[in-house]
Amino acid sequence: MTLEQTVAYKAVSDWVFLDQSNSGAGAGGGGGSNNNNSGIFVDAFLDDFGVQWYQPKEKLVFEFHSHTTCSDGFLSPTKLVERAHHKGVKVLALTDHDTMSGIPEAMDAARRFGIKIIPGVEISTIFHSRGDSSGAEEPVHILAYYSSCGPTKAALLEKFLGDIQEGRFLRAKNIVAKLHKLKLPVKWETVSKIAGKGVAPGRLHIARALLEAGHVENLKQAFSRYLHDGGPAYSTGSEPVAEEAVKLIRETGGVAVLAHPWALKNPALIIRRLKDAGLHGLEAYRSDGKLSVYSDLADAHDLLKLGGSDYHGRGGPHESDLGSASVPVTMVHEFLKMARPIWRNAILEILENYIKDPSDSNLQHIIKFGRTKAAKTNLPICNANELINNCLSSWLSKEERENAEFETIKSTMGDLVVHAESI
């Protein structure tokens, strides 16, 4: 490991294993010096020439892009987390299409394995090359990564995603109608059944219906013949404009990352425009390595370079598995440097909202994804300090939780009683 990698590795490990170091239960006990946590994670040794080297004790595997049955994936959130654990993933971002409904279940499962879940979503948008509807357009997917408290304006994001979901239903119906005209009938009931209860059907679900009906030999053929962008059965939904989604992600305390730019016809223009709208990064790593074209575009626009497997659980030899896109630890470090202050401010905003209006629903925003020890102990939480420590210790460091802004919040919140069963 180079010095830069070592520094990044220590910083990333500190965040990944915050819960352990906060509770003092870290393996190996740590050093007790200023660098108290890092001794847990890194072995330092001198070589024959007196040069100090570091060896990580544990490999840090991140997965930044994954899907479940809550959108078009094949595994439930619990099964996805189990698989991630078997693949050695330590931090898993769940990024279903246009919904965050799988996050609570994933969080529950992740607690059993000591995995950290980044609540995420992959938003379907449309990009207009001329900035209005007169020019060429193409679909663009934008990933959003939130803190353990989720988006700050949850209702606003939910409405935004709800509208897209509604559009997806309409679009799926249009595609099915077009297939009928092409003499490739599939039943709407079959498509809905494949998608699952309450899940807005996507093209992959329709492809599976085509396969079941015997109209194609495999899923790939369903796309290459009929369902690809602009294909004979293709239909657009009512997706929002890409720039709008980026702005909304920023407004709601998330980090906005352009998904799979290699699927775009016009990546350079899209990246430039989205950067102007506030994009934080783009995917440049896949399971087959770094893609230099997109890495260079990211560098040119001073954007983060991230990546993930886009795992759907389809199976088969060609699917990249969870954790297989190895984003270098230095890139993860850059991501966390950007994300952590954004998440910290989002958490502050959510706490402040609760002070302004101490309603149950505002309390739920604090604890919905964050409960850790509270659930284990079953004891009521009696003050703000306990609430913040219980729910946020895996996300914010001790220093962050004890800074002036958080102290003000704790003293304003004062005593409150939250029963574990209400969490």
Q: Which is nearer to Zn ion, 120 or 150 (CB)?
A: 120
CB 22, min distance to Zn ion, A:
32
Residue 143: name the closest of 124, 167, 165, 169 by CA: 124
Residue from 237, 310, 329, 343 touching Zn ion (CB under 5 A): that is 310
With CB under 5 A as the contact rule, which of the stretches 41-49, 138-146, 183-191, 383-391 interacts with Zn ion? 138-146
Rounded least distance, CB 118 to Zn ion, Å: 14
Question: Which among 137-145, 250-258, 295-303, 329-337 is the span making contact with Zn ion, rule CB under 5 A?
Answer: 137-145
- Residue 416 sits at φ, ψ, to 5 deg, of -155, 150
Name the minimum Å distance from CB 310 to Zn ion: 4
Measured distance CA(423)–CA(407) in Å, rounded: 23
8 A C-beta contact, residue 343 and residue 401: no
Nearer to Zn ion, 312 or 401 (CB): 312
CB of 152 to Zn ion, least distance (A): 24
Give dist(CA 420, CA 59) in Å, integer.
34
Query: At closest approach, how far in Å is the CB of 312 from Zn ion?
Result: 7
Provide the residue type at 323 as one letter: G
Identify which of residues 39 and 261 has a Cβ nearer to Zn ion in the complex.
261
Q: Is 168 in the site for Zn ion (CB under 5 A)?
A: no
What's the farthest any 2 CA atoms get from each other in the chain? 75
Binding residue for Zn ion, selected from 90, 116, 141, 171, defined by CB under 5 A: 141
Q: Rounded distance, CA 216 to CA 222, Å?
A: 6
d(C-alpha 117, C-alpha 109), whole Å: 10
For the bound state, the minimum distance from the C-beta of residue 47 to Zn ion, rounded and expressed in Å, comes to: 43
Sequence-separated (6 or more) residues with CB below 8 Å from residue 170 = 237, 238
Q: How far is the CB of 283 from Zn ion (least distance, A)?
A: 9
| In the complex, least distance from residue 364 CB atom to Zn ion, rounded to whole angstroms | 27
Give the one residue of 255, 259, 298, 327 binding Zn ion; rule: CB under 5 A.
Answer: 259
Ramachandran sector of residue 30 (left: φ over 0; alpha: ψ -120 to 50; beta: rest):
left
Given the rule CB under 5 A, which of 116-124, 189-197, 280-288, 339-347 is the region that contacts Zn ion?
116-124
**Conformational region of residue 25, where left means phi above 0, alpha means psi within -120 to 50, and beta covers everything else:** alpha
Stretch that binds Zn ion, among 101-109, 181-189, 254-262, 364-372 (CB under 5 A): 254-262
Residue number with CB closer to Zn ion (13 or 68): 68
Tell me how far, at minimum, the Cβ of 98 lies from Zn ion, in Å.
Answer: 11
User: What tokens does 370 get?
Assistant: 């964050």
Residue nearest to Zn ion according to CB distances in the complex: 141
- Closest CB to Zn ion among residues 14, 243: 243
Total binding residues for Zn ion by CB under 5 A?
4
Q: Which residues ranging from 51 to 110 are in contact with Zn ion (CB under 5 A)?
A: none
Structure tokens at 299: 């560098």
* Minimum CB distance to Zn ion, residue 65 (Å): 6
Identity at 55, one-letter amino acid code: Q
Measured from the CB atom, the residue of 141 and 365 that comes closer to Zn ion is 141
Q: Measured from the CB atom, is 257 or 423 closer to Zn ion?
A: 257
Nearest 5°: phi and psi at 142?
-120, 125
**Window contacting Zn ion (CB under 5 A); options: 55-63, 119-127, 231-239, 286-294:** 119-127
Residue 317's alpha-carbon distances to 143, 313, 314, 320, 321, in angstroms, are 26, 11, 10, 8, 10
Q: Is 278 exposed, middle or buried (0-12, 13-18, 19+ CB in 10 A)?
A: middle
Question: What six digits make up the tokens of 358?
Answer: 């101490």
Q: Residues for the chain: how many in total?
A: 423
Considering only 7-15, 86-94, 133-141, 282-290, which stretch makes contact with Zn ion by CB under 5 A? 133-141
Which residues of this chain interact with Zn ion, rule CB under 5 A?
122, 141, 259, 310
